[in-house]
Amino acid sequence: MLVSLAIRNVVLIDQLELAPDAGLGVLTGETGAGKSILLDALGLALGARADSALVRHGSDQASVTAAFEIDHEHPALAHLREQDFALEEEALVLRRVLSADGRSRAFVNDQPVSVGLLRALGERLVEVQGQFAQHGLLDPATHLGLLDAHGGLRAQAKALEGHWQDWRAAERAFAEAQAQLEQARRDDSFLRHALEELDELDPQEDEEERLAEERRFLMHGERLSEALNVAATALGGDGSDTAERALAMAQRALDRVADKAGGRVDELMGALDRAVAEVNEAQAQVSSLSADLEFEPGRLATVEERYFALKEQARKHGCEVQELPQLRRVFAERLEALDSGETHLAGLKAAVENAREAYLAAAGEISDKRGAAAESLQAAVQAELAPLRLDKAHFFCRVQRRDEEAWGPQGIDRVVFEVSTNPGAPGGPLAKIASGGELSRLLLALKVVLAEASPVTTLIFDEVDSGVGGATAAAVGERLARLAEQRQVLVVTHSPQVAALGRYHWQVRKETAGESTVTRVVPLDAPERQEEVARMLSGTQITQEARAAAGKLMARP
């Protein structure tokens, strides 16, 4: 619900902060005091069209901030998550800043957003009668969902959406397989020839790297062999009198004097022992490498032929050499799909038919229940009309079968709310058939019946009681109070019967100081509320009888 509204420099409002509560809140005041300015300001925060005329004269910019408390399952939060919006808390703060030149900026929780996103959130948070005429109950796109909610069909509608997605997925799989099969048929000769070449070549994983390394080794084999011969000579591995003999002579010389050196040559003799061992190891490795260099005649030519054959196949298919084994598998799979494609395609087609039948079965079942729910909704709304002086009106909830091309995740039905305001006249769209006053009361009746169905938690009515009085105004007030038991309701009213039922009451006043005129909104306590209701009953001259009547209205349960 709306928990705070801060307005700065909007028309006659210089600075205003309101903290709406749950239940029914009423705004009253003299005509022209600025009640409509409040709604225009709130509309800005909800993404309505910006007009530079809303900026207070002499100010550079206007701003409106509306804060809401909502639960974690609210559709507004789901919409933000769909937009990948980083939301760290469940409280929502919508802010709009409008410059005097007509440019505006939008923010959600102090993060800049598009006005379109702000509007989408506003539609999910607040319904303002008279401001968003094409949204809420007047938008036929919402009627099916509202009927499902009224009939307790949300879980079944969710399951139906799953059947629709399964059907679409089956159709996509069939279409993809069909396209692949047709492509395979066109490429049959190419695939078979290409696969024969790859099978003959038989490329292996990481083969290019191994061949490149062996090729480099073989190309430099002569120089490596010369280097190993020099190393063998230096180490004495070829039988020459070199390193090993020199180390042995050093060991014998030191050994003769070791017992007379008092341990001073022990560390040196250990180093010589280690040197002898390392020389022996080096000699062994040189011998091993020399043995490996017993080159196979023509090996370099064989390696190069294989290496460049792989390169040529990769060039031919526009890929890297390391991708050839995978390409070979792909070609084989495509040919296998071609050979068994008809069988596979037939199976996918059967899956499409099964998914379609499952969808139609679920859609038909929920369609029947929607018919019953529509009758229940019609009866419930009709019962609300007579007390609202709409006794000649008839409300219709029509469930119509769509053409197949219009079927969708919500099923095969189209649901439309219609009204006839004259006996015998055909029904038509709510906004086109009902007059302004009739429409306001008709929507009130609908909202009372559908209170639990709508995700919108804040409802605002602008003079829903216009043109009625007495018992009809009392009936309007009673329904607003009933609605406020489940939703936050704010109503701008000139009716004392409605104002008397408010849980809290604000008075809108226009004040002039010198050459400056401002609109103020003042919260009223119980005595002040009674005085304001009395004023609404009697006019500018408040009588004791009016005060007594106001007290009776406010005391009514």
Q: Backbone dihedral region of 539: left (phi > 0), alpha (psi from -120 to 50 degrees) or beta? A: left
Structure tokens at 57: 């004269």
Burial 252-285 (b: 16+ CB within 10 A, else e): eeeeeeeeeeeeebeeeeeebeebbeebeebbee
pLDDT in tens, 234-267: 777 555 556 777 888 888 888 887 787 778 888 8
Rounded Cα gap, residues 112 and 87, in angstroms: 13
**According to the model, what pLDDT value does residue 249 have?**
84
pLDDT at 134: 43
Task: Report which of 36, 26, 13, 19 is spatially closest to residue 489, judged by C-alpha positions.
Answer: 26
Which range, 151-155, 217-221, 335-339, has the best average confidence (pLDDT)? Answer: 151-155
What band does 136 get if pLDDT is binned at 50, 70 and 90? low
Give percent of the chain with pLDDT exceeding 90. Answer: 39
Q: What is the mean pLDDT of the chain?
A: 86
Question: Is 90 exceeded by the pLDDT of residue 158?
Answer: yes
- For residue 194, pLDDT over 80 is answered with yes
DSSP sequence for 425-493: PPPEEHHHHS-HHHHHHHHHHHHHHTTTT----EEEEESTTTT--HHHHHHHHHHHHHHTTTSEEEEE-
The per-residue pLDDT for range 263-317, each reduced to its tens digit, is 888 888 888 888 888 888 888 887 777 776 666 667 788 888 999 999 999 999 9
Under 8 Å CB-to-CB from 376, ≥6 apart: which residues?
150, 151
Q: How many CB atoms lie within 10 A of CB 375?
A: 13
3-class SS of residue 143: helix
- Asked if the model's pLDDT at residue 424 lies above 80, the reply is no
Q: Which of 169, 165, 173 is nearest to 346 (CA)?
A: 173
Q: Where are the domains of the chain?
A: 190-331
Query: What is the DSSP track for 302-358?
Result: HHHHHHHHHHHHHHHHTS-GGGHHHHHHHHHHHHHHHHHHHHHHHHHHHHHHHHHHH
**Amino acid at residue number 495:** S
Q: Count the helix, strand and coil residues of the chain and give each as a percent rounded to the nearest 5.
A: 55, 15, 25
> By percentage, how much of the chain surpasses pLDDT 70?
94
pLDDT the model gives residue 133: 46
- What integer pLDDT is reported at residue 374 of this predicted model? 95
